[in-house]
Structure 1
Amino acid sequence: MNSYFITGISTDVGKTLVAAAVTQALKADYWKPIQSGGIEHSDRMEVQRLIHNDKTVFHKESYFLETPMSPHEAAAIDGITIDIEEIKRPQTEDHLVIEGAGGLLVPLNNTHTIIDLIEPTDKVILVSSGYLGSINHTLLSIEVLKARGLNCAGIIYNQVELAGTIEIIEKMTGVPTIAHLSHIESLDATAILKVADSIREKLLDL
């Protein structure tokens, strides 16, 4: 079985939407190692709301921080230090979808960032968007992965309207496009199921 690490080029680019769709497509387990903020409505809770199958297991976060800030600062406010040795992947015989927090270099403590949670065997799915500057952020993210010896298996673009954005990223990186998602008017289980059906074959080919 495979592990899929969902990371983004920045915050608020649609990682949770993508994580839900990938989880649904593969009927995989879901795990977010670190949650900052969202005590009453976390990303895990949101994915649970959006998933419609009887197989997915939702694993508990290793760290659930109260303040919606970078994990290192949220942890400091909570009076703790994030120790990546304490972040243990859940054991499962099924596919596992792992959702990161923010981008690859979001600090966890004074030494480690989100990228330190990625294992060489993970299929990394990068979520990109179409804001001004997103090309730079996408290329930088791919370069950081390469520098660590990690492979970006594919990119899911979320609401990219700027002409030429996807084309230049594909030409410069060779990283395949898994999907280009349009704006979803009503984000619910039906919408996620439609996205999941559209990306399933490409996910299995990664």
Structure 2
Amino acid sequence: MNNIFITGIGTGVGKTIASACVAEALGANYWKPVQAGLQDVTDSQTLRALLSDNTRVKEELYRLRMPASPHLAAAREGITLQEDRIVQRAQELQQPDVPLVIEGAGGLMVPLNKKVFTIDLIKALGARTIIVAQNYLGSINHCLLTAMALRQAEIPVIGWIFSGDHHSNEDDIVGWSQYPRIARIPRVRKVTREFVSMQAELLQPALLQYLSGDGH
């Protein structure tokens, strides 16, 4: 399967905007299997407003009202999130020669149920991964723990997308992790379709280069 999983070093680091830019750059379909929190605009609704072809945004499998960890939000509604259903739906969404960009919730160790974490789902999907990171106090630790967990799980990593203002930590993280930098998406006051299109064009060459490899 031609799955690209967008994970982050934590919550609120820019995964959704990175997902939009990657999907736009590749002409890919976008899918968020589990959306927790329906009070505000969902990530899928955000992507429909940002992609040049909003038909590429696929419906969530699980839509949970509570803005919390997926396993807690699901438990509140008497639901158990099932890994095999997510994998089956990903297979159904596959199209020849069209990548599927899958956005996770939070980071690798976010639980989907009492036994399955996001990192387990990535493995089951057979996905290659892009890690989204942002600079903040403690982010080096979170970056390197994320990289270590993916390497130990033998999950292929395409590279890093850094979000926000440039920081010298980026060079250290790339060096220590031995995963390449795909791009940095700058911070802007308002993210528009035009901004996503521009960033997609900028990151496309590096993204295609690293996608053509065998992973890390």
TM-score (norm 1): 0.93
The answer to whether the 8 Å contact 1:3/1:95 transfers is yes
The answer to whether the 8 Å contact 2:109/2:117 transfers is yes
Return the letter of the residue paired with 2:61.
Answer: S
In 2, the alpha carbon distance for the partners of 1:9 and 1:51 equals 24
In 1, the alpha carbon distance for the partners of 2:200 and 2:82 equals 34
Higher mean displacement: 113-122 or 153-162: 113-122
In the alignment, what sits opposite 2:5?
5
Secondary structure (helix, strand or coil) at the match of 1:111 reads coil
In 2, the alpha carbon distance for the partners of 1:83 and 1:121 equals 16
Residue correspondence of structure 1 range 126-205 to structure 2 within 5 A: 126-162=131-167, 164-205=168-209
Return the letter of the residue paired with 2:141.
Answer: N
Return the letter of the residue paired with 1:57.
Answer: R
The alpha-carbon deviation at position 31 of structure 1 amounts to 0.7
Secondary structure (helix, strand or coil) at the match of 2:74 reads helix
Paired residues in the alignment total 204
In 1, the alpha carbon distance for the partners of 2:19 and 2:193 equals 13
Deviation per CA, 1:24-81: give whole Å up to 9, x if none.
1111011111110135521011011111137x52222121111010000000111111
Structure 1 residues without counterparts, runs of 5 or longer: none
TM-score (norm 2): 0.89
In 1, the alpha carbon distance for the partners of 2:12 and 2:38 equals 14
The answer to whether the 8 Å contact 1:131/1:160 transfers is no
Structure 2 residues without counterparts, runs of 5 or longer: 211-216
In the alignment, what sits opposite 1:117?
121
In 1, the alpha carbon distance for the partners of 2:76 and 2:136 equals 31
In 2, the alpha carbon distance for the partners of 1:102 and 1:34 equals 11
Task: Using the aligned pairs only, state the percent identity.
Answer: 39
Secondary structure (helix, strand or coil) at the match of 2:158 reads strand
In 1, the alpha carbon distance for the partners of 2:78 and 2:53 equals 38
The alpha-carbon deviation at position 121 of structure 1 amounts to 4.3
Structure 1 or 2: more helix by fraction: 2
In 1, the alpha carbon distance for the partners of 2:186 and 2:47 equals 19
The alpha-carbon deviation at position 100 of structure 1 amounts to 0.5
In the alignment, what sits opposite 1:29?
29
In 2, the alpha carbon distance for the partners of 1:43 and 1:19 equals 10
Secondary structure (helix, strand or coil) at the match of 2:30 reads strand
Structure 1 pair 133/40, CA: closer, same or farther in 2 (3 Å)? closer
In 1, the alpha carbon distance for the partners of 2:45 and 2:83 equals 23
Higher mean displacement: 40-49 or 139-148: 40-49
In 1, the alpha carbon distance for the partners of 2:45 and 2:111 equals 24
The alpha-carbon deviation at position 160 of structure 1 amounts to 4.1
In 1, the alpha carbon distance for the partners of 2:42 and 2:159 equals 26
In the alignment, what sits opposite 1:42?
42
1:96 to 88, 97, 100: 100
- Aligned-residue Cα RMSD (Å) equals 1.6
